[in-house]
Amino acid sequence: LPISPDMFAEQADRRVRIGLIMSELVKANTLQATGEQVRAWVEEFAKAYENPDQVVKHYLSDRNRLADVEAMVVEENVVNYVLSKAKVTEKQVPFDELMNG
């Protein structure tokens, strides 16, 4: 089956829009990842391994891995920022209504 590029256009458009919105939120609200946040994330992640110190050293010496961690921390910062500004209204909904829209 040939795959039409149009099938992916909507998803690509959505990803680009989300990326632009996140970028603006980061700039406007100084939500960049700090060195302390990146290191804390790496140290927490490394706890799951037998030699956490080696994992930390490996991550901190690999620019590509650090960039990945930094992106995750920035995303977390944006989510936390948006949640801190969101107005949450609790509403009781019957299970069937919730599941069926």
Q: What pLDDT, on the 0 to 100 scale, is given for residue 93?
A: 92
Residues of the chain with pLDDT under 70: 1
User: What pLDDT does residue 3 have?
Assistant: 78
Q: How far apart are CA 48 and CA 50, in angstroms?
A: 7
Please report the pLDDT score of residue 18 as a whole number: 94
Q: CB–CB of 47/84 below 8 Å?
A: no
pLDDT value of position 45: 96
Burial class (CB in 10 A: 0-12, 13-18, 19+), 8: exposed
Integer Cα distance of 90 and 101 in angstroms: 17
Predicted pLDDT of residue 43: 97
Q: How far apart (Å, rounded) are the C-alpha atoms in residues 59 and 39?
A: 9
